[in-house]
Amino acid sequence: MTPAVRYTATAKLLHWLMAVLIPASMALGMYVEGLPFSPEKLKLISWHKWAGLTLFTLAVLRLGWRLRHPPPPLPASMSPTLRFAAHAGHLMLYVLMLAIPLTGWLMSSAKGVPTVWFGVLPIPDLLAKDEALGTLLQATHKYLNWLLAATLAGHVAAALKHHFIDRDDILRRMLPGSADKQRQ
């Protein structure tokens, strides 16, 4: 089997779902952080936690899909340094897409705040209540989100550079509606 020319429809769906949900969840988290304690804040925190667990689930599915359906190869015209940077950037994105929801889950556990996914499915605590650890995990969660924001900015900038400057198909092959072709 030769490598795919384009990403699969499933890979594209997972990519674009996360491309919408990640910034939305980050924005909600930043908004909630500045609110005074209230029933509204608790409701929004629950929504943020639901988004985080959903993103964690999507990241696991996405990683599993990627392992079974390798992405198209990078253009031969890319230098070894740029290839390394592309692979390192994608690795960083996957690590952060897993680590950020996990630190949020650990933080909730350590702070003794249960999570019930969409108000239906209770999520088990991963740690015993420990306020100091919860505060450390909260800071870790926040700083990992800033690192993700920077990594995403680099990812978007690289995709736009490939599209508008290099004029290769890096961006087009991930766009919705582009053909899911396999070389035969």
Say if 58 falls within a structural domain: yes
Say if 24 falls within a structural domain: yes
Q: What is the pLDDT of residue 157?
A: 97
Say if 180 falls within a structural domain: no
Say if 45 falls within a structural domain: yes
Scanning the structure block, which residue is given the tokens 């994608």?
Answer: 90
Q: Which domain holds residue 128?
A: 9-174
Q: What is the pLDDT of residue 127?
A: 96
Say if 124 falls within a structural domain: yes
Burial label, 172 (beta-carbon count in 10 A; 0-12, 13-18, 19+):
middle
Say if 3 falls within a structural domain: no
CATH label of the domain that carries residue 36: 1.20.950.20
Task: With a cut of 80, say whether residue 106 has pLDDT above it.
Answer: yes
3-state secondary structure of 163: helix
Say if 179 falls within a structural domain: no
Q: Using one digit for the tens of pLDDT, what is the confidence trace for 47-100?
A: 999 999 999 999 999 999 999 999 999 999 999 999 999 999 999 999 999 999
Which whole number is the average pLDDT over 141-163? Answer: 97
Domains: count for the chain: 1
Say if 42 falls within a structural domain: yes
